[in-house]
């Protein structure tokens, strides 16, 4: 006699970058095991592979996770976690006034992607020369790279996100040039031009959620803004 088959609930979410609606199920014990093994290994590449595998397993109808923008991956994983483990997460926050660590509860189901109204993937460097940017992808960078202050890391992130360079009607696809050639192009930018590229990253879509916060010790009172997947499980 075969063992009983347990039914699994399904939910819907909208992919932020494409607006496509997909169905997904919570991750099961087998996916939890994948994540635990990746966390035990501690390697960023292992955690990336685990997240992609879990998303691929749980989204129905064979959704292609290759080349997904980082904020899509973070959003989908957050929704998966909220339906699989708990819709609430407690985050430790150190008070900037008295240094006391307070626990703040977050409703993960209410967390959404925020996009700045000033955001554009087109960066105008001069009157006729500019860039078409693409979003950071989980395959090409580490989640922590976007917060890095290391010069080489910053330049690598910028290089990987240049989709094309245009001059008037002429378009140069970045894939037709070597990494060294793209790096040389970036190195020859003025500081003002590089700051325009930085604006693309500063305003691009991201997980963001504001929660009320009052310190239990000194009663410091100011809303807490959380951004990026890692800050929702700290």
The secondary structure of residue 141, as a DSSP letter, is: S
> How high is the pLDDT of residue 13?
93
- Mean of the per-residue pLDDT values of the chain: 88
State the Cα angle at 18 between 16 and 20, rounded to 5°. Answer: 90
Find, among 120, 3, 18, 143, the residue nearest to 70 by Cα.
Answer: 143
What stretches of 108-193 adopt beta strand conformation (E)? 112-114, 122-124, 129-133, 162-167, 170-173
Predicted TM-score (pTM) of the model is 0.84
What SS3 state is found at 21?
strand
The Cα 30–Cα 58 span in angstroms is 11
Summarize pLDDT for 36-65 with one digit per residue, the tens: 888 787 776 677 788 888 998 999 876 777
The secondary structure of residue 61, as a DSSP letter, is: S
**Where residue 145 falls among pLDDT bands split at 50, 70, 90?**
low
**Where residue 149 falls among pLDDT bands split at 50, 70, 90?**
low
Find, among 38, 48, 8, 5, the residue nearest to 25 by Cα.
Answer: 8
């Amino acid at each position: 006699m075969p063992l009983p088959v347990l039914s699994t609930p399904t939910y819907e979410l909208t992919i932020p970058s494409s607006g496509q609606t997909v169905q997904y199920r919570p991750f099961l014990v087998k996916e939890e095991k994948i994540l635990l093994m990746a966390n035990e290994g501690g390697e960023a590449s292992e955690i990336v592979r685990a997240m992609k595998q879990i998303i691929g397993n749980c989204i129905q109808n064979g959704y292609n996770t290759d080349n997904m923008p980082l904020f899509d991956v973070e959003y989908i994983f957050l929704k998966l976690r909220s339906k699989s483990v708990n819709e609430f997460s407690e985050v430790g926050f150190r008070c900037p006034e008295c240094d006391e660590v307070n626990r703040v509860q977050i409703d993960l189901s209410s967390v959404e992607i925020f996009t700045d109204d000033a955001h554009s993937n087109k960066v105008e460097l001069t009157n006729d020369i500019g860039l078409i940017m693409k979003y950071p992808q989980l395959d090409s960078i580490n989640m922590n790279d976007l917060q890095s202050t290391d010069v080489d890391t910053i330049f690598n992130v910028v290089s990987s996100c240049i989709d094309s360079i245009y001059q008037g009607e002429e378009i140069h696809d970045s894939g037709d040039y070597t990494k060294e050639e793209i790096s040389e192009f970036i190195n020859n930018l003025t500081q003002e031009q590089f700051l325009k590229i930085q604006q693309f990253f500063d305003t691009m879509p991201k997980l963001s959620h504001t929660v009320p916060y009052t310190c239990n010790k000194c009663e410091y009172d100011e809303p807490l803004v959380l951004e990026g997947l890692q800050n929702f499980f700290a």
